[in-house]
Amino acid sequence: MSHDDELSLFLQEVADVRPIRSDNTLSLTGTSAPTEAQLARRQAATAEQLTLDHLSMEAVEMLDPHAIVGFKRDGVQEGVYKKLRLGKYELQASLDLHQKTLNEARQSLVQFIADCEVRDIRCLLILHGKGERSTPRAVLKSHVSTWLPQLPAVMAMHSAERRHGGSGALYVLLQKSERQKAENRERHQKRLG
C-alpha cells in the first residue's frame, strides 16, 4: 500500500469524527500537582527556616524568674485573653523545654508551633521553667517570652496558673486556621439564618 492509499484510507475512517467541545480539560505534563498535605509540609518547612532565622538570640531582656509574662495581639478580645490568663481553655498540647539549650529550645518551639498549626491545635502549654538556678537567671524563660510574640501564629500568651507551672510555664493561643474560620462563619450564618 502506498503512502497516498494509506492517507485516503485514514481520511475515510475519520471522516465522521467531530471535535469534542468541553471546558473540562486535563493537562498531563508528566508531574502531578502537589497534594494539600505536601503543600502544608513545604509551607511549614519554609516558615520554620524563616522563623528560626528571625528569632533573636541576642538583645533579649532578662526577666525575673518569678515575673508574670503576658502578650496579646491587637484584635484579640479581652474576654478571650482573660479566659486564657485564667487557664480556662482546654490545653490541647504541651511542650517541655526543661534541660534544653537555647538552640534546641528555639528549634523545638518553632517545630511545635508549626505542628500545632497543621493539626488545628489552638491552646498550648509551654513549660520553660523559672530558671532560678540558671546563669544568668531565667535565661530560657526570657528567650521563650521574647520569641513567642515574634511568631505570626501566636495570638496571645500568659504565664500559667500555679496548677500548670505558674511563672515557669506559658499558656499560648494560636490563630484559627482557615478551615476553623470557615466553620465559624458557617455556624454563625446558620444561627442568623
> Which grid coordinates belong to 1?
500500500
pLDDT band at 49 (very low <50, low <70, confident <90, very high): low
Q: Tell me the average pLDDT of the chain.
A: 85
Query: Cα–Cα distance between 177 and 185 in angstroms, integer?
Result: 12
Gap between the Cα atoms of 108 and 96, Å rounded: 9
- What's the confidence (pLDDT) of residue 160? 97
Q: Are 109 and 97 in contact (CB under 8 A)?
A: yes
Which comes out higher in pLDDT, residue 1 or 74? 74
> Can you give the pLDDT at residue 57?
75
* Reported confidence tier of residue 33, pLDDT bands at 50, 70, 90: low
Helices (H), 75-167: 78-85, 102-118, 139-147
Grid coordinates representing 21? Answer: 467541545
Selection from 142, 151, 148 nearest residue 67 by Cα: 142
**Set of cell numbers at residue 12:** 475515510
Selected residue with higher pLDDT from 36 and 129 = 129
The span from the first CA to the last CA of the chain, in angstroms, equals: 74
